[in-house]
Structures are given as C-alpha cells and as structure tokens.
Amino acid sequence: MPKVFNWQLNREMEYPYEESRPDKQFAAVFNINRCIGCQTCSMADKNTWTFSKGQEYMWWNNVETKPYGGYPQHWDVKLLQMLGPGQWGNGSYHGKTIFEAPIPDDEAVLQPERVLGYLPTDEEYRFPNIYEDTPTGDWTKTTELPEHKLWMFYLQRICNHCTYPGCLAACPRKAIYKREEDGVVLVDQKRCRGYRKCVQACPYKKAMYRANSKVTEKCVACYPRLEKGVAPRCVVACVGKIRLQGWLHTQEKAEPDNPMDYLVHVAKVALPLYPQFGTEPNVYYIPPRWAPRPFLRQLFGPGVDEAIKKYTDPDETLFGLLRLFGTTESIIRRFLVEKQEATGYNEDGDEIIKMPFDEPMYIRPAYDPQFQIERFNEP
C-alpha cells in the first residue's frame, strides 16, 4: 500500500491511493460553543437535498448531543472499540488508523476489505436525535468554568470531505471521487452499484445507502453554490452563526489572511474530529469550553487545551475573525482585522462584509403618544 502524509497525525500512514491534494480544499469550522441545537442546519439541508422518497432517514447534516447521542447510534464508540487503544505522544499519533488496523476474519469472508469499519443496522438510523439534551455527570455540583460537572454539548456533523476518504478507498467500483478543484468528495451515481463498502468504511457514517434507488448518496458540500462563491445551505442557514466555510491549504502553503488557514494552522483554535481515524477530515471544531478535557481530547486530539485557551482569551485577529462567522452568504477568501473592525473579501478581492467589534447603539426617543400616532398615520 502507498504511504501518504497525514498532517493531523504528523506521520506517514498507509492508504490505498497515492497522496494527491487539491490546490484548495473545501473546509469548514464549526464553533461548538455557540451552537444552540436548533437543527435549522439539519432542516435546511434536508429541504435542499434529501426530501424525496427513500431518503426519509437520510440526514446529511445532523446535530447530536454528546456524550450519548449519535446518528447512526453509537457510530463513534463502535469504531473506537474496533480500532483499539492508541496514544498521542511527541507530537504524533501512535496507533492504527482505519487503513492500517487488521480486519477481523469474519468481515473478510467474501472479499478482502481495505478499510476497518462496520455497516450500521437500519435500527441504528431510526432516531437521529436520540438522547437530545441529555447531560452526564454530577447533578449535585454547581456549574462553573473551567469544566462543568454536569455537562453535554451539541456536535454538528456533515461529511468531512476528507483528504483520505475511507468511502473512496473502499469502493470496489471506484465510484467515489474527490474533485481536483476543491477537494469535494462525490459519489458517481452512474458507477455506483450499491455495494455499500463506502457506508461500511466511512468512519463518520456520512455515506448513506438509499434503498429505493439502490445507490449511495452523501453530502455534496452544496457544490453548485460553491461554484458561484456561495457557502453551503447548512452554513448560511445557521441561526447561532457558529459556522464558517472556506478553503484550506496545507500547513506549508497556509495563508495567514485566509480564514480557514488562520483558524486551523495559525491560531490552531479549530481541530479535526477523531483525527486518529486517519482520513484527515476537513471539518474543524472549536471545542466546547465547559466539557471535560479527557473526553474532548479523545474527540479532537491533543490540541484541545491550547485551542480552548486561545478561544477563551482571543487576540484581536481571532476576535475579529470570530465576528465574521455567519455574517455573509459569500465565501470569505481573505480577511483583515484592524481598528476594531473585521473585513471579509471574496475571491476577486472585493469587500463583502465589514463587522465592527462594537455594534452601534441606537437610543429610541422617550415614549411620546403623539409621536406614535403620527408614525402610525404615515402613508
């Protein structure tokens, strides 16, 4: 198997195909601290892409309550158990990824598997928001930072448009491809024969089989919008303004005035979900300040403590960039923070959004019945 470099693990790893990276990679940052669990993103996505017969249980975007929630149920715990223990040390990951772990014999009876995974049962997809708002911990303790004793948080999940997709690696038909221009991972519906190796191999369970058409479907990153410089539906619809989508480069080619590069590579405030799986996922999370650190480190790796520190006490640049989340439909290609203002620019360098640190305050005139009547009678 070829060796590829996975920067999130800071080591080489095995992958069935050679390393090949797009010039710019679709990426998004979700700020867990701001999410209110309203599911507007889930509905925006469903109303756009998965409203047809046969897609009833298909949620390309879902928001689950951690630690107990999961769609499909137990998706992460099951795979973590299959993978076995692994450790972070000296800046890299020591443990097996899904491409390196041995495949149990009973899984490989009919044909050798390339990727460690499992096929969820129909039952596991039935309750997309099971355990909603269910906390864990000690009810008797007060709620104080830095860590709440009774806690839960919302985890917003879409396809990660991975650099090394498990779904793509596993498909015997080569029906899944990663677009050269933006790294979006798509299923070629004409090539797909419904083998479901992708469903089995995606560690995040974001490749979904559709029984009535007998092919697999998945989040398409709203590519028709991306091609027009417009962010995906789930990003734009977000009420909590927790999402920012953009283009990510490698560490070596990171541009500090690119929002994704800044958050991921420069400030290191946004972290990948379960990097130890090995797919190099491209949705990044600002971890929740109040949750226990060991749990967060298992989800987001060893950068958790630094990320939370940075987020809790942001410098001016980070503070400004956080102000730009959820403020414009257009994809922000570059940003500038100066004089207590954050500005976003599009691909052509045009200014598309400006956000002051402090929004102006307008004081209404004191209540005046006569004034109100006049206003009411205005044509």
Q: Which does 219 bind (CB under 5 to 8 A by kind): ligand SF4, ligand F3S, none?
A: ligand SF4
- Of the pair 196, 206, the CB lying nearest ligand F3S is at 196
Query: Least Å distance between CB 175 and ligand F3S?
Result: 4
Range list of H helices, the chain: 40-49, 75-83, 166-170, 197-201, 223-226, 233-237, 259-261, 293-300, 304-312, 316-323, 369-377
Residues forming a β-bridge with 230:
330
Q: Which does 233 bind (CB under 5 to 8 A by kind): ligand SF4, ligand F3S, none?
A: ligand SF4
Peptide bond into 16 cis (omega under 30): no
3 state SS for 207-235: EEEECCCCEEEECCCCHHHHCCCECCHHH
Contacts of 148 (CB under 8 A, 6+ apart): 137, 290, 291
- Of the pair 219, 332, the CB lying nearest ligand SF4 is at 219
Tell me: does residue 233 bind ligand SF4 (CB under 6 A): yes
Contact (Cβ atoms closer than 8 angstroms) between residue 45 and residue 233:
yes
Query: Least Å distance between CB 67 and ligand F3S?
Result: 30
Q: Exposed, middle or buried by CB within 10 Å (0-12, 13-18, 19+), for 129? A: middle
- The footprint of ligand SF4 on this chain (CB under 6 A) covers a number of residues equal to 28
Tell me: does residue 60 bind ligand SF4 (CB under 6 A): yes
Site for ligand SF4 in 191-210 (CB under 6 A): 202, 204, 206-207
Q: Which does 160 bind (CB under 5 to 8 A by kind): ligand F3S, ligand SF4, none?
A: ligand SF4
The tokens describing 68, both together, are 């107990």
In the chain, DSSP finds a helix count (H) and a strand count (E) of 11, 19
Query: Least Å distance between CB 117 and ligand SF4?
Result: 9
Tell me: does residue 218 bind ligand SF4 (CB under 6 A): yes
CA 13 remoteness from chain centre: 22
- Of the pair 57, 127, the CB lying nearest ligand F3S is at 57
Write out the residues near ligand F3S by the rule CB under 6 A.
Answer: 170-171, 173, 175-176, 187, 192-198, 216
Tell me: does residue 222 bind ligand SF4 (CB under 6 A): yes
Query: Least Å distance between CB 312 and ligand SF4?
Result: 28
Contacts of 79 (CB under 8 A, 6+ apart): 98, 116, 117, 118, 203, 277
Range list of H helices, 75-189: 75-83, 166-170
Q: Which does 158 bind (CB under 5 to 8 A by kind): ligand F3S, ligand SF4, none?
A: ligand SF4
Tell me: does residue 279 bind ligand SF4 (CB under 6 A): yes
Task: Please report, as ranges, the residues that interact with ligand SF4 according to CB under 6 A.
Answer: 44-45, 48-49, 60-61, 158-162, 165-167, 185, 202, 204, 206-207, 218-222, 232-234, 279
